Homo-oligomer: A and B are copies of this chain.
Amino acid sequence: MKTLAVDMDGVLADVYSLFVKMHSEEFGYDVTLEDSHGLAESAAFPGIYKYVNSKGFFRNVPLIEGCQECIVKLNEKYKLFIVSAATEFPSSLQDKQSWLNDHFPFITWRQMVFCGSKEIIKADIMIDDHFKNLDHFKGHTILFTQQHNISTHPGRHIRVQSWNEIGKLLL
């Protein structure tokens, strides 16, 4: 059984939509897709560090469309791990685990990894929206499209736009 490492933020958790909402509440206007096209998240959302450090941010983030149904099936076919770069925001750790328990109750604590650098992760396949995580990974790499990576050539990584595409690729 192959091992599959799946990222949280920007892959399972729709942090982007929450950034848009919080930015709008703070500045009184929406950041559009055009505004954020190809920009690092911190450039598109100047308040981002405040947002992710705010109480409950990672507890209340919405799901990315289609991920629940696909993860159910992937969890049967692969040795699945959810791998989140979380230690930059220590107050997020317990919230992130609770969020996983809420939305993916079949994923056990044994399958969760909260880390800083993902250099230490060994798996056959990694799904992530950040090049910094995929670039030094030795296995197959799937780049989940987000505004911040949309204008960069995926290189050796397979770019996908949706969980529907991931399902077609891996199931």
> Residues on A close to B: CB < 8 A?
3, 5, 79, 81, 83, 86-88, 90-91, 93-94, 97-98, 108-117, 119-123
**Shortest beta-carbon contacts, A-B, top 7:** A122-B122, A110-B116, A93-B93, A87-B109, A113-B115, A110-B117, A87-B112
Which residues on the B side are within 8 Å of A81 (C-beta)?
117, 120
A109 to chain B, nearest CB (A): 4
Copies per complex?
Answer: 2
Contact across chains for B83 and A90 when beta carbons are under 8 A apart: no
Contact across chains for A116 and B120 when beta carbons are under 8 A apart: no
A23 to B91, CA, bound (A): 30
A75 to B30, CA, bound (A): 45
A109 to B90, CA, bound (A): 9
A14 to B156, CA, bound (A): 45
Contact of A111 (CB < 8 Å), options: B90, B117, B123:
B117
Which residues on the B side are within 8 Å of A121 (C-beta)?
120-122
Contact of A114 (CB < 8 Å), options: B79, B98, B113:
B113
Q: With A93-B93, A120-B5 in contact, do A110 and B87 touch (Cβ < 8 Å)?
A: yes
A86 to B109, CA, bound (A): 9
A99 to chain B, nearest CB (A): 11
Contact across chains for B109 and A113 when beta carbons are under 8 A apart: no
